[in-house]
A and B are shown apart, each in its own frame.
Chain A
Amino acid sequence: MPENRRFRQTWKEHVCHSGLKVIVIEKKGFSTSGAMLITPYGSLDYIQEDSSGREYASPLGTAHFLEHKLFESEDNDVTRQFSQIGANVNAFTSYSETAYYFTTGESHVEKPLNMLLDFVQNFAVTDASVEKERPIILEEYQMYQEDPDGRLFQESMRGLYHCHPIREDIVGTEASISAITRQDLEAAYARNYHPGAMTLVILSAADAEELIETVEKNQSGKQFPHQEKYVRKNWQEDLIPEQLCIETVMDVQSQKTAYSFKLNSAGMTAAQRLEMEWGIRFALDSWFTPMNPLFQTWLDEERITPYFSTDTDSAQDYAYLQIMDETAKADELREFILRQLNALCEKGISEEHVSQLKRRTIGSNIRLFDYPSELMNAWARSTVTNVSLFDEIDVIEHLTADRCMEILRSLDLSNPACAKLVSR
């Protein structure tokens, strides 16, 4: 059984005859058990291509709508079934994945494990149930529209991207949610829920072999048609932002401004993207946080507020760096950010800072292993990117100050898009 000694963690991996990949994380001494069934199909995959390049399109928000509807089976309320045995069941949709999971205080998970596999591997959605769900999802959409931070992020992405689906919320738009049909859900399900495309991550104190046997037995009783591989449409975007400034008026008191830089991740492997993210993160943390003696001066001179922050994220077809603050003085913020980024690129960061940031990150990763649900989630999501949690630590440990700066200096940081949230 594989073991990481430093993190004192063992696990077992197995591929079922159905193609389903299973990972069992051993948690001896813990009462909590759980499992997460994840497919690499998220909101950005609303247009997919097969190996011949043929496109399959569905309305924006289909992945999220499907996640809601899979909880419906012909004769049973899935949530109630899980609750009857004391298991919490839930799901989430993100940009690149949809995941279904349960957690329970019981160490015997054979029953909920079978239930999870059975409800996700059974499409039983009716036209009537789609109509019933639509107003609920529209309410959910409205809820996200009211969230100031969520809106700022969304408008930032609209400013950066011309056509990439990251421009829209994971739940879709009002129009697309209204347009989704049962047939869209069924087609998306057929393309993305084949066991060969999915991974099941189990966390338990129980014997790993027995758990794998349970899963294998469940899968052997089911028939799955041959599955073609579908991939996300290759969105071609240049590095020029779609719109240099977007102003959104909301009923808020605290005004916000974000500057976002579009980065190039095309052709990078997942490990290279991860190195880019951490390199940028370390460089920005070293300069734009209290690690920099100037940070307090910036606060005292009111160039920034205590809520000044930076963020970066990347995937195969998008990457961005974002710097935000609670201010409506967008021009002043822009000038400050560009000047400081120039100074950072010129002066660089110290090995001492990189070493400090590594200690911080490693400490926080060690503590992650004490939180079963978070660990299961992080492990499952790492299967979608194909970079394990331990590989990520390796990437971090190999970073040097020079490498971080090399990464940062390779970026075009001259042309940010601005998103402003202003009071009515």
Chain B
Amino acid sequence: MFRDHPSEGVHIHIHKSDKFRTVILQVALIWPGEKRESAVYFLLSSLLSDSCLKYPGKLEVSRRLDELYGASLQIRFRPVGNANRMSFSISACESSCVGEDILPGMFETVSEFLMRPRIENGKFPDSVFAECRKQAELTLMMAYDEPGAKADYLAAEAYGGHLARRNFPSQEELDQITNEDTVRAWEWMMEHARIDINILGNVDEDYVRTLAKKSFPFHERRCECRVEKHSPGSYACMKEVRDIPQTHVVLVYDTGHLGLAGMSPSFVIANGIFGSLPTSMLFQNIREKQGLCYSIDSSFLSMDGILKVTCAISPDHLEALLKSVQDQIDAMKNGAFSEEDVEISKCMYISNLISSYDSPGAVLSEDYRLSVCQYSLPREKLLEEFERVGKEDVVRSFQNVVLRAAAIVGPGGENA
């Protein structure tokens, strides 16, 4: 990995790899976030994706990306832990596969969208602003028509903190955002955010470094983002009664673990035993043995220190499900699982971690994570940590798991 630091708060990371035919360029801006800002930045990401001064319409954008052999450009806002993150990433195939050098075009495209958005006279064009707001409203409605997504949304609202910030903005929040708010948000982000420019692929390092410096002439900035533990309040539950056949349940647990430090590798393995793998207690006991549902699993959001259980179930089985999930939590705390369960979970996570390095996106994500997150462990270290986990570590890692929020969407939600 080649690293450069052209100015304070601006970092270039070049990961040369001849393994992939894909080249990815990502420019990520990160800054300490607050809940009230999230809605503005969600909308800003949509405005920035629509067009820019050089490519002022969908037609021009589409043509530009096709010139780069169907390059995919994504501009995404996503709060991470307690920070806000806006990323501009473009992926295209390696120049040698198509017989022309498309790397300068990739840099130019991201640079135009990031540095020169379509702001004229202090505003985005009114028609573009109106279209993006309407699209956001539609996206919101469509996303939450899916009952599982709505349960997820409600659980995050009930929990608050990082999770709530990650939700799509509500209709009321969208209504309050002005065109000028989004311009101010872009200006603030460009002025203050820490900037990481990551490139992955079969590229010449000197060439890429020159392109990066020329395309992104950022001045120095000071920005300290720390992933900190959210202190949730007391238990909260949100319900929505909906006329659908199944009841969707999301349970959010505080784990006491944050980031990939200290006890967290043990908790990753614990989650494999508890609910994230098809051999887990949730899947085997609740789906396979009791036949209560088709889908049930758990995920560990390590940057938030949260364990989330997700399930869709017949409303008649809701009570049995809630009791059974609690039984599995108790079993984890009491060590009611075998050494073999621990070994299986370790084996799966180690294998998945090794496999993930065959994905260009995963490799780039790790490069980025290592550069910005003070708790991150490199792959080799993480593999060692996984290898070392024993049953006692797993039991200990589960002791502070406490239910903090729940959401139920579907028939029967009113009785839960």
A residues contacting B by CB (< 8 A) are: 6-8, 27, 29-32, 77, 79-80, 83-88, 103-106, 132, 135-137, 139-140, 142-143, 145-148, 250-254, 289-293, 295-296, 299-300, 305-307, 326, 356-357, 359-364, 366-367, 369-372, 424
Contacts and interface: CB of A to CB of B under 8 A. Distances in A.
B245 A146 contact: yes
Contact of A136 (B142, B146, B293, B355): B293
Nearest to B359: A371
Q: Which 4 A-B pairs have the closest CB atoms?
A: A363-B69, A105-B354, A290-B58, A86-B351
B246 A142 contact: yes
B135 A306 contact: yes
Interface string B119-155: 0000000010001001100100110111100000000
A293 B245 CA distance: 44
Contacts of A300: 127, 131
Nearest to B280: A83
A351 to B, nearest CB: 14
A150 to B, nearest CB: 10
- Residue in A31, A84, A86, A372 whose Cβ sees the most chain B Cβ within 10 Å: A86
Given A83-B344, A140-B294, A356-B63, A148 B19 contact: no
B66, B94, B135: most-surrounded residue (chain A CB, <10 A)? B66
B67 A367 contact: no
A77 B69 CA distance: 46
A99 B220 CA distance: 54
Contacts of B142: 148, 254, 307, 326
Given A83-B278, A367-B92, 16 more contacts: A77-B279, A83-B348, A105-B352, A106-B351, A136-B293, A139-B293, A146-B146, A251-B244, A254-B138, A254-B141, A290-B62, A293-B59, A305-B138, A363-B68, A366-B93, A369-B21
A80 B344 CA distance: 8
Given A147-B146, A364-B70, A86 B93 contact: no
Contacts of B180: none
6 contacts: A83-B348, A88-B351, A105-B355, A146-B312, A360-B69, A360-B70
B66 A359 contact: yes
B355 A32 contact: yes
Contact of A253 (B57, B144, B340, B353): B144
A147 B347 CA distance: 34
A290 B59 contact: yes
Contact of A137 (B20, B62, B294): B294
A8 B355 CA distance: 21
B348 to A, nearest CB: 6
B93 A83 contact: no
A105 B59 CA distance: 42
Contacts of A299: 131
Contacts of B134: 305-306
Interface in B311-326: 312-314
Interface string B270-286: 00000001110000000
Contact of B347 (A83, A146, A360, A424): A83
B58 A296 contact: yes
A103 B355 contact: yes
A190 B71 CA distance: 46
Q: A84, A105, A356 — which one has the most chain B CB atoms within 10 A of its CB?
A: A105
A296 B245 CA distance: 39
Given A296-B57, A366-B98, A253 B141 contact: yes
A80 B343 CA distance: 11
Nearest to B313: A139
Q: Which of A8, A103, A106, A360 has the most CB of B within 10 A?
A: A360
Contacts of B279: 77, 79-80, 83
A252 B69 contact: no
B66 A136 contact: no
B168 to A, nearest CB: 13
B242 A359 contact: no
A79 B58 contact: no
A34 B348 CA distance: 14
Contacts of B360: 370
Given A139-B313, A143-B294, A105 B351 contact: yes
Nearest to A290: B58
A142 B146 contact: no
Q: For A30, A145, A251, A299, which residue has the most chain B Cβ atoms within 10 angstroms? A: A251
B235 interface: no
Contacts of B69: 359-360, 362-363, 366
A131 to B, nearest CB: 9
Contacts of B314: 139, 142
Contacts of A295: 58-59
B123 to A, nearest CB: 17
A79 B278 contact: yes
| Most B CB within 10 A of own CB, among A8, A143, A147, A362 | A143
B21 A85 contact: no
A12 B344 CA distance: 33
Nearest to B347: A86
Given A83-B277, A83-B279, A253 B145 contact: yes
B295 interface: yes
A148 B354 CA distance: 37
A348 B199 CA distance: 41
Interface string B343-378: 110011011111101111000000000000000000
Contacts of A83: 277-279, 344, 347-348
A145 B358 contact: no
A125 to B, nearest CB: 15
Nearest to B61: A290
B175 interface: no
A136 B351 CA distance: 29
A139 B58 contact: no
B179 interface: no
Contact of B294 (A136, A254, A307, A363): A136
Interface string B289-331: 0010111000000000000000011100000000000000000
B97 interface: yes
B287 interface: yes
A368 B21 CA distance: 9
A252 B350 CA distance: 41
Contacts of B340: 84
B198 interface: no
Nearest to B246: A142
B243 interface: yes
Interface string B64-91: 0111111100000000000000000001
A251 B351 contact: no
Contacts of B348: 83, 86, 88
Given A8-B21, A296-B58, A84 B344 contact: yes
Contacts of B97: 6-8, 366
B266 interface: no
A68 to B, nearest CB: 10
Interface in B249-276: none
A371 B360 CA distance: 8
Contact of B246 (A31, A32, A137, A143): A143
Contacts of B68: 363
